[in-house]
Amino acid sequence: MRRLAVFALVAFACMGSSAVAGNLSGKTVVIDPGHNGGNTTHHEITGKQVWAGTLWKDCDADGASTGNGYSEAQHNWDVALLLRSLLREQGARVVLTRTSNTGAGPCITRRAAIGNQQRADAAVSIHADGSLNASNTGFHVILPADTGQSQRMLRGSQRLGLAIRNALRDQGPTSISNYIGSDGLITRSDLGGLNLSKVPKVFTEIGNMRAPHDAAAMTSPAGRQLEASAIAAGITNFLTSRRG
């Protein structure tokens, strides 16, 4: 069944079940809404080269957009606000890496530094993909490669990524990616937000903004609620489950 037809019903169910189960009092979660609404007009800021741990990259990027102009930066911000509310309801202390969708940046180095400075128990960067091939659909979760981080960080990120992948697979608005990664997971060594992190961190890419079904999920308030609820459920599972 196409998930779009049941967005509203499932979003309501998610808000009342696993997404709000557990007690996150005393936990700090850093949410990193990728890109920013002003990036496209401030390339003098975002085009600055920074060291991303394994290579030099632009400070930040413009991000993708749907065919009707809904930007990835706006999507990431909208989902981050929903996710923050869900986590706060469980007692978590939540820190965002940016405070609006009207500025530029911050640089990828600063985004990683915020999680480190806050000594986050978990950090999640919210994104969407922009493949021009509309048949490329579905979500994937990006895990950090071993580029010199501690084994504790890498093991924590693996657990966090699996927990979020499972929640997105079971209750998210899009299916597992059919074009990138394996079973909804991929490891990358070119992302400064992961390479420079000292705390457990992953990226979520909820789908392809150029694919009609995925775009419908991202532009729908109910679809974004499903996304936020699933990510919250994954974070909660990671922070409250016993380690194996």
Q: Give catalytic residue positions.
A: 205
Other beta carbons less than 10 A from residue 211's beta carbon: 24
Q: Where are the alpha helices (DSSP H) in the chain?
A: 7-15, 43-46, 72-89, 108-117, 151-171, 192-195, 212-219, 221-240
Q: Which two tokens stand for residue 33?
A: 């809404």
Closest CA to 145 of 98, 185, 113, 179: 185
In sequence order, the 6+-apart residues with CB closer than 8 A to the CB of 42 are: 104, 105
Rounded Cα distance between 111 and 33, Å, is 9
Rounded Cα distance between 78 and 177, Å, is 22
Other beta carbons less than 10 A from residue 212's beta carbon: 13
Please state whether the peptide bond connecting residue 200 to the residue before it is cis, i.e. omega within 30 degrees of 0: no
Q: Which two tokens stand for residue 86?
A: 């869900």
Q: Which two tokens stand for residue 14?
A: 């998610």
Report how far apart, in Å, the C-alpha atoms of 127 and of each of 152, 208, 238 are. Answer: 25, 10, 20
* Size of the chain, expressed as the number of residues it contains: 244
